[in-house]
Every structure is written in structure tokens, then in C-alpha cells.
């Protein structure tokens, strides 16, 4: 049995044990969220654009996401009635939410910061990041901020059909622009997006900058009750993925079924050695039965380092 398979079995057992707790926790949190208080900016904050209280910034404009188009592409849109997809992402998010806000969070630093990555391009990082974010926001479990940190090859804005800037790069590169300026509210309550922003020849340096580290710290402390999901570049094709992995508490490693070699997965896992939690999602797995054809499946691996 491979390490991934062992991890899958272990995580399934853990997931079953945690189900009850996670569900009751989510339920109890629903009533506690509010975006009604606006920014009380403080010059003393590490990042002047972030609020000094625990609220995300005020809504300025609402990005309209075309849900039916998203559903046609196989994404988890609110209008989607694909109960299998809904159920799969419910299962994917459960341990992540529990690690971030439930009993599982004990001992995990920055547990509300989630990086979605993979070994190679095209394995389904953006697909997974968006669906995970929508799944969490759609059921009104949590407020979710999806950040497109694949700054060299961004695609979150394109897929969602919303504007692509200003975004993370503009915030990291600029002096005048605050983080609140790059957060887009959407037509799904609780779901906000930070686009990647402009292409920048020093994007790697920007992601490894002190300003990015401070931003991650702020997001984990001031927004500890929010889920922050980063879409990232592939680990084995770019260095930005490694850099980002050091900033978050949980990593979702997307593995494309029947394509990504085990040696590549293990190489990626080694690169993630400093992360408290690494969960594997098997994507695009074909599962056939006499009557059904499923486009993808998933699984989990959780590694304690
Ligand atoms: N489970 C899935 N079901 C259906 N389509 C999928 C699934 N996963 C990924 N796709 C599709 O496969 C393509 C590649 O996925 P995606 O863009 O999410 O990969 P990526 O890892 O983010 O790629 P890149 O490294 O280029 O950023 C997209 O067209 C996406 O919609
Ligand atoms: Mg992508």
C-alpha cells in the first residue's frame, strides 16, 4: 500500500470521527458572522490596508459571477444540482474546516490559511480552489476569501468572469494601494476574491517579500474566523508554490489521477515538509460502474510533520 493510500485510509477514519463535531461546530458559527462593521483603520497595523478590528473591509463593488456558466464548466455553482459534486466537496472541506476552526486546529499554526497546489500544471488546482471556496461559502459555513496567488499564470478571475485587477501583485508592489482595495465582493454572500493583479517580472520576489509574510500573518490573526484560500502555481514547475506553502497552515495537494507519477507526488510532499497539514485530493479520477460514469473523485492524505 502506498503512502498516499495509507494516508487516505487514515484520513477517512479520522474524517468519520470528526464529522459530528465539525457539523455541530459549523452550525454554531453560522449566527456569529457579520460584515456590518466597517474598517477602523489604524496606522499602527502591520498592513495599513487591513482593519484593526476583526472585520473584512467594506463592500465597494460587487463582482457578478455567472453561475450558470460556471455550472456548465463543472464547478460547484449555487444553482448546481449535481448532488455528487456537492457531497464530494462537503467531504473535502470537512477536515479542512475542522482543522481551521474545530478541535483539529489545536497545534496548527495559521490553520485558516489554505494553499491549493499540485505537482504539475493542469492538475486541477484552480478548479479545486474555487470549488472548495464556493462549497464553504455556499453553505454559509464561513466567510471565504479566495486569493489568486498563481501570479505568473492567473486564472481565477477568468474562470469566474470577474475583473483581474488590481490584485495581490498590485498590493505587494505598491505603496499607496491597501489590501482592502484589492478585495472584490461577489454576488455570493460570504465569498470574496483577490485577483492576481498585474503581471510583474519580479512576482517571485514579491511573493517571498516581507510584505507578503506580514500579510499572511495578518490574515491568520485578524481574520482567524475567515477561511483564506490561495490558488497557487505547481510545486515542481515554479518556486512560488514552495514560498507560499511556508506561509500557510494547511496545504491541499491536488493529484491528477492516472497522470501524476507517485515519485512526483512524493517530491512535492517533501517540499511541503514544513507544513503542519497536507491533504491530498485525487482529481479527475474516472470511476466506472455498470450505469454511471464519474468524471472525478477525491481522497485525502494527512501528514503530520
Ligand atoms: N474534477 C474536474 N472535473 C472537470 N473538469 C476539471 C476537473 N479538474 C480540472 N478540470 C478542468 O481541467 C482544466 C485544468 O484545471 P485547472 O485550471 O484547475 O488546473 P490547474 O492545476 O489550476 O492548472 P495550472 O497549473 O495551469 O494553473 C480546466 O479546464 C478545469 O476546468
Ligand atoms: Mg490554475
Q: What is the pTM of this model?
A: 0.80
Torsions phi, psi of 255, nearest 5?
-120, 120
Map out the domains of the chain with their CATH numbers: 3-30+43-294 (3.40.50.300)
Closest-lying ligand 1 atom to the alpha carbon of residue 283? 1
Q: Give me the pLDDT at residue 18, please.
A: 30
Each residue of 197-223: pLDDT tens digit?
999 999 999 999 999 999 999 999 999
Q: Which H/E stretch holds residue 24? A: helix 3-29
Ligand 1 atom having least distance to the Cα of 155:
27
Q: Which ligand is nearest to the CA of 255?
A: 1
Contacts of 97 (CB under 8 A, 6+ apart): 22, 25, 26, 136, 141, 142, 227
Cα(153) to centroid(ligand 2), Å:
7
C-alpha cell at 48: 495599513
> Please, are residues 189 and 89 in contact by the beta-carbon 8 Å criterion?
no
Cβ pair 145, 229 in contact under 8 A: yes
Q: Is the CB of residue 125 below 6 angstroms from any atom belonging to ligand 1?
A: yes
DSSP string, 142-192: --EEEEE---SS--HHHHHT----S-HHHHHH-SS--GGGGPEEESSTTEE
Question: Three cell numbers at 234?
Answer: 505547481
pLDDT in tens, 284-297: 887 554 433 334 44
Regarding the beta carbon of 118 and ligand 1, being less than 6 Å apart is answered yes
Question: Is the distance from the beta carbon of residue 286 to the nearest atom of ligand 1 less than 6 Å?
Answer: no
Task: Assess whether the C-beta atom of 148 lies below 6 angstroms from ligand 1.
Answer: no
Least-confidence region, from 20-29, 180-189, 229-238, 258-267: 20-29
Please tell me if the CB atom of residue 155 comes closer than 6 angstroms to any atom of ligand 1: yes
Amino acid at each position: 500500500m502506498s503512502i498516499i493510500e495509507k494516508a487516505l485510509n487514515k484520513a477517512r477514519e479520522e474524517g468519520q470521527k470528526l464529522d459530528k463535531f465539525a457539523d455541530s461546530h459549523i452550525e454554531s458559527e453560522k449566527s456569529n458572522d457579520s460584515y456590518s462593521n466597517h474598517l477602523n483603520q489604524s496606522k499602527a497595523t502591520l498592513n495599513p490596508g487591513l482593519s484593526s478590528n476583526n472585520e473584512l473591509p467594506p463592500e465597494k463593488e460587487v463582482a457578478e459571477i455567472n453561475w450558470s456558466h460556471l455550472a456548465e464548466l463543472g464547478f460547484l455553482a449555487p444553482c448546481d444540482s449535481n448532488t455528487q459534486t456537492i457531497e464530494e466537496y462537503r467531504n473535502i472541506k470537512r477536515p479542512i474546516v475542522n482543522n481551521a476552526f474545530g478541535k483539529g486546529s489545536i497545534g496548527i499554526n495559521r490553520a485558516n490559511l489554505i494553499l491549493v497546489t499540485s505537482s504539475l500544471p493542469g492538475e486541477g488546482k484552480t478548479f479545486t480552489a474555487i470549488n472548495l471556496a464556493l462549497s464553504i461559502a455556499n453553505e454559509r459555513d464561513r466567510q471565504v476569501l479566495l486569493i489568486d496567488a498563481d501570479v505568473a499564470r492567473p486564472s481565477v478571475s477568468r474562470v469566474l468572469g470577474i475583473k483581474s485587477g488590481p490584485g495581490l501583485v498590485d498590493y505587494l508592489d505598491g505603496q499607496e494601494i491597501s489590501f482592502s482595495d484589492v478585495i472584490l465582493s461577489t454576488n455570493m454572500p460570504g465569498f470574496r476574491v483577490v485577483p492576481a493583479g498585474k503581471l510583474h517580472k519580479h512576482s517571485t520576489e514579491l511573493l517571498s517579500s516581507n510584505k507578503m509574510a506580514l500579510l499572511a500573518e495578518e490574515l491568520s490573526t485578524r481574520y482567524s474566523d475567515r477561511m483564506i484560500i490561495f490558488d497557487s502555481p505547481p510545486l515542481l514547475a515554479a518556486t512560488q508554490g514552495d514560498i507560499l506553502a511556508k506561509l500557510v497552515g494547511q496545504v491541499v495537494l491536488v493529484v491528477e489521477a492516472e497522470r501524476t507519477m507517485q515519485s512526483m507526488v512524493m517530491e512535492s510532499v517533501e517540499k511541503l515538509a514544513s507544513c503542519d497539514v497536507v491533504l491530498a485530493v485525487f482529481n479527475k479520477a474516472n470511476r466506472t460502474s455498470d450505469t454511471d460514469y464519474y468524471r472525478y473523485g477525491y481522497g485525502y492524505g494527512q501528514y503530520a510533520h
